[in-house]
Amino acid sequence: MRFLFGFTGLLLSLTCTCAYGQSNGDSLHLYIDVHHLGPGKVTYEAVAKAHQKDLATEGKYGVHFLKYWVDEPGGIVYCLSSSPDPQAIRNTHAEAHGLLPDTVYEVTAGLPSKMTKGKNLYLDIHELGPGNVTPEAVAAAHQKDLAVEKKYGVNFIDYWVDPRAGVVMCLSEASDTSAVLATHKEAHGLMPMYIAQVKEGH
């Protein structure tokens, strides 16, 4: 099940006018690339096969695919990888199976929690606008989520932030989408633009 939400004035609690952070000089960066294939046009099994082709090709371009998530009803695939740059990811996908991402986000990750594997897995997307969010602000909001999550039976597993694009992605386990939304609402009031139940692969 998927939902779309508008923003509220509470967006300001994650807004910052600071300049974008600079690269730490490492040769590899963390990315999430997103494929919008269309509702009903993707299955977890098909993505798993394509992922194996990525793994067979990634070394040529210095990419390491870590995880992926599939939103089958929405027809969206999210791939987490470390890579020298976005083009290396596109080159790997192009050679492996020809399915190129619509968007590639350079992200920083939070501190992951353990999965319980007893509930559904959800990915919710916050589109806050370019320059309107920092990793520090998201870390503070995440702590508020963690303080509230047990009340609604939610387990926030990890999150990723692209400050340049102003996008935050949160991965959680819950009984349903309403539990995730209730946690965000009580914790800090920042509601996602999109939330979907996903399947994870490695």
At residue 180, does pLDDT exceed 70? yes
The pTM (predicted TM-score) of the whole model is 0.86
Q: What is the arithmetic mean of pLDDT over 187-197?
A: 96
pLDDT in tens, 132-147: 999 999 999 999 999 9
- Ranges of beta strands (E only) in 24-175 are 29-36, 64-71, 76-83, 103-106, 108-109, 120-127, 155-162, 167-174
pLDDT in tens, 99-128: 999 999 999 999 888 888 789 999 999 999
Q: What is the mean pLDDT of the chain?
A: 88
Domains along the sequence of the chain with CATH:
3-16+109-201 (3.30.70.3090), 29-108 (3.30.70.3090)
CA separation, residue 134 to residues 13, 24, 90 (Å): 11, 16, 26
